[in-house]
Amino acid sequence: MGTKQALAVTKEIQASGSTFGTYFRVTSFGESHGGVVGCVIDGCPPRLQLSEADMQVDLDRRRPGQSRITSSRKEADTCKIASGIADGLTTGSPIKVELPNTDQRGDDYSEMLLAYRPSHADATYDFKYGVRSVQGGGRSSARETIGRVAAGAVAKKILKQYSGNQNKLNIIAYVSQVDKLVLPEDLIDHETMTPDQIESNIVRCPNPEYAEKMIAAIDAVRVKGDSVGGVVTCIVRNAPRGLGSPVFDKLGAELAKAVMSIPATMGFEFGSGFAGTFMIGSEHSDEFHIDEHGKIRTKTNRSGGISNGEIINMRIAFKPTPTISRKQNTVTRYKRETEIIARGRRDPCVVPQGVPVVEAMVALVLVDQLMAQYAQCMLFPINPALQEPLQLSKDKELQQRLLCLYAVNRVISRHATSH
């Protein structure tokens, strides 16, 4: 193969759009009504204790049919690791995770064989490929996000083990807006907020009063066959300083690309976001100071913690679900005007289900950037006056447990092989 041919093949692979990441690479596969969905994770560090249970917690949070404000599709979404694990530990080779699709109703999409659903990807898939998977929207369906969440759970575990218990890195997302109901920022403390507060209600809002209002707003449109959008806020506590690279791979840019690839997302902002445009420079600047521990900190956080060690704060807008049970005008593949009423199962609001997906994509970015930081900036001795060392948790008890577990699993494996 010549140089030009090899370059063309490389460009074709890069343009496929199903792989995310540089060092920690995730390729998602599967379609809404195909046999399986899942992902392949390449670049996972070896010797990480990992099982299906580590992924299942977040997959259960993402699973449809959990309440009246989500899709009625019933899927167990039970994952299976098909490769990359030996004796309960990652081997450094690709990890394949797959989940079967079991609740398929292809007949619900018979009208879409010809007619395009407004604000869906039906028409654009035809424009691009000249062919598409009709049932459930194929790759454009939110079922695709299963692979993201499974891989994100692995990334979360890496970050947790890296950071240890003393300064644990936390990624927490929650619903901060549904329709015109906006959760006031002064009702939330990002320093102390816990996942249990968020998961205590079906809309995933940490404030009980606003949670009830949001659920009522979703119910009001659900019974009319309509839908509403909203905003997911995501924070990261105790992220390492200095992640991201100038100029095209800034941490904010990487996070923006990651979350804007999620189905139904319409906007992204971090820190002061668009509201910062109403300030003048002296109001917006984050002034530095030395805290009680002798660390350089900022008095405010309008920069959104990117990436100076402060809390990373971002907001992601989700549009109203385009699949609604109301008549809409459209056209057919053969350029004839018509009307359509969607019969497929639908979410009256996708925002609550978007919470674990946002967390997953943020985790994937942070792991990828952490690996990049090690590769470029930690190869030689650091400048201790300015840089903080990147190092794994010094939790000796955890390390001893992992070594013991590895030894026990090896003994069991050998015993089983010998018999």
Does residue 44 contact residue 155 with C-beta atoms inside 8 Å?
A: no
What residues form DSSP beta bridges with 109? Answer: none
Burial 48-72 (b: 16+ CB within 10 A, else e): bbbeeebbbebbebbbbeeeebbbe
Q: Which CATH number, 3.60.150.10, 3.40.50.2300, 3.40.50.620, 3.90.180.10, labels domain 17-271+306-377?
A: 3.60.150.10
Residues 6 or more apart whose Cβ sits within 8 Å of residue 55: 79, 97, 149, 150, 153, 154
The pLDDT assigned to 387 comes to 85
The pLDDT assigned to 113 comes to 74
Tokens encoding 218: 């979703």
Does residue 37 contact residue 143 with C-beta atoms inside 8 Å?
A: yes
- At 277 the three-state DSSP class reads helix
- At 158 the three-state DSSP class reads helix
Ramachandran category for residue 32: left, alpha or beta (phi over 0 → left; psi -120 to 50 → alpha): alpha
Sheet containing 80-81: give its strands across.
19-20, 25-30, 36-42, 95-100, 80-81
Q: For residue 266, which phi and psi values (nearest 5 degrees)?
A: -130, -10
Cα–Cα separations (whole angstroms), residue 168 to 37, 124, 156, 162, 164: 31, 43, 11, 9, 6
Q: What is the pLDDT along the chain (419 residues), one digit of tens a residue?
A: 555 554 444 444 454 789 999 999 999 999 877 889 999 999 999 999 999 999 999 999 998 777 778 776 677 889 999 999 999 999 999 999 999 988 766 555 666 678 898 998 888 888 988 888 776 677 888 889 999 999 999 999 999 999 877 778 999 999 999 999 999 999 999 999 999 999 999 999 999 999 999 999 999 999 999 999 999 999 999 999 999 999 999 999 999 999 999 999 999 999 999 999 999 999 999 999 999 989 999 999 999 988 899 999 999 999 998 888 889 999 998 999 999 887 766 789 999 999 999 999 999 999 999 999 989 988 888 888 888 877 554 554 555 555 555 555 555 555 555 55
Compute how many other C-beta atoms are within 10 angstroms of the C-beta atom of residue 13.
9
User: For residues 135 and 115, what is the distance between their CA atoms, to the nearest angstrom?
Assistant: 13
Does residue 405 contact residue 397 with C-beta atoms inside 8 Å?
A: no
Burial 214-244 (b: 16+ CB within 10 A, else e): bbebbeebbeeeebbbbbbbbbbbebbbbbb
Q: Which of 29, 15, 30, 39 is nearest to 364 (CA)?
A: 39
- At 167 the three-state DSSP class reads coil
DSSP track, 302-361: TTTTTTTSSPEEEEEEEPPPS--SS-EEEEBTTS-EEEE---S---S--HHHHHHHHHHH
DSSP track, 195-232: HHHHTTSTT--SSHHHHHHHHHHHHHHHTTT----EEE
The pLDDT assigned to 412 comes to 57
Report CA 177 to chain centroid distance, whole Å: 18
Maximum alpha-carbon separation in the chain: 75
User: For residues 263 and 147, what is the distance between their CA atoms, to the nearest angstrom?
Assistant: 13
Q: Which of 311, 244, 47 is nearest to 157 (CA)?
A: 47
Signed CA dihedral, 332, 337, 341, 347: sign only = positive
Indicate whether this model's pTM tops 0.85. yes
Domain boundaries of the chain, sorted by first residue:
17-271+306-377
Burial (CB count within 10 angstroms: exposed 0-12, middle 13-18, buried 19+), residue 44: buried
